[in-house]
Structure 1
Amino acid sequence: MPAVDSLVCFALYAANRTTTQAYRVLLEPWNLTYPQYIALVTLWSDGPQTVGGLGDALQLDSGTLSPMLARMEAAGYVTRTRGGDDERVVTVSLTARGSALRDELTHVPRCIAAGAGLTDADSARDLIDALHQLTEAMKSLRDHPGTVLDAVGAPRRRA
């Protein structure tokens, strides 16, 4: 067994990478990427969003988000319009084609859940809750590394 197989970070990396690859296979007939899909899911659920709000929701920076939205607009899935009072604010909305994709892609979450071995809504919710907890814990480590370094007695390297 490779040494990396015993690392939590590698298990998370491998699971994330393989999940994204599974989405790629499921979304390929629609020529959609996983980030485009989650943008659509957000717009389906929450309605029109500013580019900034969508970026926050998807945890994507504008350098990644803007070109993606341009491709989605060229494909006819979304429109981008500048705000009335502040021309810097751009709102992203679904087109009729983008809205219609919701019905065409209803199988995707079910396929992912089945592929992950999630047999019911409770098992899915448990996994989602555990992943949210992990995300918050890693944000805390990212934002306050000294606290964790001290807690585990790790040496600090001086720059």
Structure 2
Amino acid sequence: MAVPTVRDVDPLALERQVCFALVTTNRAVLAVYRPLLEPLGLTHPQYLVMLALWDHRKAADADQFPLSVKQIAAALQIDSATLSPMLKRLEAQGLITRAKNPADERTTDVMLTQRGIALRERALEIPPAVVERLGVELAELENLHRVLNRINAAAVAAGALQS
């Protein structure tokens, strides 16, 4: 049997599309996260917001410096309008507070509450549980993470997220 050449392979075959692999993998991986996040009372998008806030808090004197909605949106590569309803729900759960920045009324600042800070301890169980459930070696996942970050950076550099 002959080995297929590039010309023999259909470039439009669904199973060859990177976009399809990314979409289906995203859906499957989020399904792994869902039952792990449920006991924390978080959806995956809310978890990402909390991760951004926990990362910021690790910075020096971050307790004194809130993150703006715009900064969180930039970190998550989403627009502020998408972020606002998530923040509203996190605030209703008592995990964050939102307040107008006194120096610039157009800016809304977001800070973790003590409850939001404490939730981080429980969230520490999420990453190893995901690795275990996926059944993939950590080194392989770390390599995938590097490749995905390179692809994301290339897409952003090509103007993929410009409006």
Q: Would you call these one fold, judging by a TM-score over 0.5?
A: yes
Q: Which is bigger in relative contact order (C-alpha 8 A, separation at least 6)?
A: 2
**Cα drift, residue 141 of structure 1:** 4.3
Q: Does 1:8 align with 2:26?
A: no
Q: Which residue identity does 2:15 align to in structure 1?
A: D
State the alpha-carbon separation in 1 of the partners of residues 128 and 155 from structure 2.
Answer: 28
Identity %: 40
Q: TM-score scaled to structure 1, two decimals? A: 0.80
| 1:134-154 alpha-carbon deviations (Å, 9 max, x no partner) | 1122234445xxxxxxxxxxx
Q: Does 1:107 align with 2:125?
A: yes
SS at match of 1:89: strand
Q: TM-score scaled to structure 2, two decimals? A: 0.78
Residue of structure 2 in register with 1:127 after alignment: 144
SS at match of 2:152: helix
**Are the structure 2 counterparts of residues 51 and 103 from structure 1 closer, same or farther at C-alpha, using a change threshold of 3 Å?**
same
Q: Which residue identity does 1:40 align to in structure 2?
A: M
Q: Give unmatched runs, 5+ long, in structure 1.
A: 144-159
Q: Give unmatched runs, 5+ long, in structure 2.
A: 1-12, 58-65
Q: Which residue identity does 1:131 align to in structure 2?
A: L
Q: Which residue identity does 1:111 align to in structure 2?
A: A
State the alpha-carbon separation in 1 of the partners of residues 94 and 110 from structure 2.
Answer: 12
RMSD: 1.7
Size of the alignment, in residue pairs? 140
In terms of fraction of residues, the more helix-rich structure is 1
**Cα drift, residue 88 of structure 1:** 1.1
